[in-house]
Amino acid sequence: MYSALKKSKAIEKRRKKIDKELALLNNDIKSLEKTVQHPFSGSRPKLKSEGKKSPSEPRENDSVSRVGKKDDRLGEYLSGNIHDVGSMKNERRLQRNKAITMIIVVIIVALLIWRRFL
């Protein structure tokens, strides 16, 4: 009897986790739908008026805007623009360098804390 209760609790916990993940995905989809203003139609023309935003304009979520920029570059790359290949490689290299730097910083801080308490 205990094993049956344990199984039902495990199933209920798993169902709750799945429900949470679905809710998070739905929220992500809704937020991305808000940022998409028009469907992708090849490469978008770049406007020269795009520059600094005025302080009165509301700020978008930085991570959402970064994902949008990345998607735009990927779309242009896939559509055949050879000029964007370098920027994608550069972005991957920058992300890799940031990750390596963060790992080194975490290791150094951990070693300093470990030495101080010994």
Residue 79 contacts by C-beta under 8 Å, 6 or more apart in sequence? 42, 43
Per-residue pLDDT of 62-111, as tens digits, reads 666 666 666 676 666 666 655 555 667 788 888 999 999 999 999 999 99
Share of the chain above pLDDT 90, in %: 18
Per-residue pLDDT of 6-55, as tens digits, reads 777 778 888 888 888 888 888 888 877 777 655 555 555 555 555 555 55
Look-up of token digits 């986790």: 17
Average pLDDT value over all residues in the chain: 73
- Tell me the CB-side half-sphere exposure of residue 45, using CA atoms within 13 A: 3
- Is the pLDDT score of 2 beyond 70? no
